[in-house]
Amino acid sequence: MNKEQITEIILDKVDKLLLEARIDNIKKKFPNDVHGFIDEISVDYEPSNNDKYLDWLSKILLYPIVDIPNDYLIRNDDGTYKINSTGSGRWGYNTYLSYQMNAQDRKILKDDIDYFHNYIRKFEQRDINQYASWDELHKAVEKAKLKLSRKEIKESGVIKLFENEDFLILTPLTHQAACRYGSNTRWCVAMRGYSGYFENYFTQGPIFFLMDKRMIPPTKSMKTEDYYKLAMHYRPRFDVAPERNYQRYQMLNNSKKAFQLASKLNKEEFMQGADLNHAKIDFWTVSDRQVKKSVAQKYMGGPGRGQGVRGQEAMVKFENVMEKYTKKVLSDFYDSIDKDAGKKLEELKNTIQKINDNLNVVRDKIDELDNLWSIIGDVNVDWDDMKSRISEIPDKLSVEEFKTSVEGHREKLMQIKDELEVKRETNSEKLEDMEVKTQNFQFYDPEKSIPQNN
């Protein structure tokens, strides 16, 4: 072992000793009965490799944050109550709090501390202990998200489409990004631990997150709650009967529908689905309340004189951004598909059906030969009597020769069966691959969009 290896071992040991000492010092601030919870906090919440946030996290999760229940109170003679500080009553309640805390809150806390750790340069206060509460950290995190860095765009799976001094428009390509930038809302697409809503909505059309950088308290004229986010679902609608006097629209309910429409329409007709005069736009507040365009426009206009003009100007900008992005996605999809794929799919399905029919015939013949083999193999069978009953059996053919013939025929059938099964598997793989290609239309990244539990 050389000096460098020895040095690395010593450094590793020192790091472990320092880490253990840090955890021990944190545990000294708490009663013994919660030390196990501190170890769990280190594993479940701590994003660093040296537990530098563990002290702060332990205080957040283990200190009392609501009224003490009666089980942990002692009644005084005058009818008032005091905390039962004996035994583990008080701290038992705190640890109970930690694990009965709202599940969504725990996930948001985890995401907040991860965000703070990964993008600490975006924060004015970079020492976690400067935040007296989780609420203070959460507000700082939400503010930092409005300053989108290139690193963040690359890592989070989010696209920044528009930004000025008042607003920022994002569209998430992953469920993780939807959860992160849709925090502090009740949007189902930002539900942690389940990506089904996200996938369903984003197949119908992209959802854009409007982030309000003004951070101004809304007035009555703005007709909205105290929030600074708005979800805008831009859903293309395709006119499948433009030659008629009336319009018959179809929407993208799933990936298969997108392929069907793209195969039926020319590119210009397909692209028109994203036109403002065709598309349907839904607006959702942070409380997941759907509002009319006029209400959303008043919010965009902000308080004070000139609200209507400002709101209308903002809406026009945002609609153009959404239309342009949606057209780009539709155009890329149209250019990527094989217009004859539908015909090829049917041909492959017919080929596989014919292979299955032939396989059934061959299997039946093999079963018949197996039955025959069981008969001629019976020692009680009179071979000469069988020949006399079946005129097709030559007189000179012995039973052993007949058995050899049956075996040879069976081997040939088994070879045919194996070849057919290989062909069926090959064509089934082609069919599956083609079906995937014809149903690959989403406004998100399906490979990265997995449910975010943390």
Closest CA to 164 of 226, 212, 122: 212
Q: 224 and 185 in contact (C-beta within 8 Å)?
A: no
> How far, in Å, CA of 152 to CA of 102, rounded?
28
Residue written as token pair 């020319």:
266
- Dihedral sign (CA 309, 310, 315, 317): positive
Closest CA to 111 of 391, 454, 406: 454
Give this prediction's pTM.
0.63
pLDDT tens for the chain, 454 residues long, are 565 655 555 455 445 555 666 778 888 877 676 777 788 888 888 888 888 888 888 888 775 433 444 445 555 666 554 545 544 444 443 443 444 456 777 788 888 999 999 888 889 898 998 998 888 999 899 888 888 777 777 777 888 999 999 999 999 988 888 988 998 888 999 988 888 889 888 888 899 999 988 877 766 766 666 567 899 999 998 877 666 555 567 777 766 777 778 777 888 888 888 999 889 999 998 888 898 999 899 889 988 888 889 999 999 999 999 999 999 988 888 887 766 666 777 788 888 899 989 989 888 888 887 877 777 766 566 767 666 666 666 767 777 777 787 788 888 888 998 999 998 888 888 877 766 665 556 666 654 443 344 3
pLDDT (0 to 100) of residue 255: 65
pLDDT (0 to 100) of residue 316: 95
> How far, in Å, CA of 85 to CA of 83, rounded?
6
pLDDT (0 to 100) of residue 452: 42
Q: 33 and 62 in contact (C-beta within 8 Å)?
A: no
pLDDT (0 to 100) of residue 40: 84
pLDDT (0 to 100) of residue 233: 94
Q: Kindly state the helix (H) or strand (E) to which residue 217 belongs, with its residue range.
A: none
pLDDT (0 to 100) of residue 143: 87
Cβ count within 10 A of residue 23: 18
pLDDT (0 to 100) of residue 184: 81
pLDDT (0 to 100) of residue 89: 44
DSSP tally for the chain: helices H, then strands E:
16, 10
Burial 280-299 (b: 16+ CB within 10 A, else e): ebbbbbbeeeebeeebbbbb
pLDDT (0 to 100) of residue 65: 35
Q: How are beta strands 158-163 and 167-172 bridged, if at all?
A: antiparallel
Closest CA to 69 of 100, 46, 36: 100
Backbone angles phi, psi at 447, to 5 degrees: -70, -30
> How far, in Å, CA of 237 to CA of 271, rounded?
10
pLDDT (0 to 100) of residue 76: 60
Q: 194 and 241 in contact (C-beta within 8 Å)?
A: no
**What does DSSP assign to residue 172?**
E
Closest CA to 109 of 128, 131, 130, 137: 137
Q: How are beta strands 158-163 and 207-212 bridged, if at all?
A: unpaired
Instruction: Tell me the Cα Rg of the chain.
Output: 35
DSSP-based three-state secondary structure for 255: helix
Closest CA to 212 of 289, 303, 123, 150: 303
pLDDT (0 to 100) of residue 276: 92
> How far, in Å, CA of 390 to CA of 97, rounded?
87
The amino acid sitting at 173 is: L
Domain range annotation of the chain: 3-144, 150-337, 342-438
pLDDT (0 to 100) of residue 435: 66
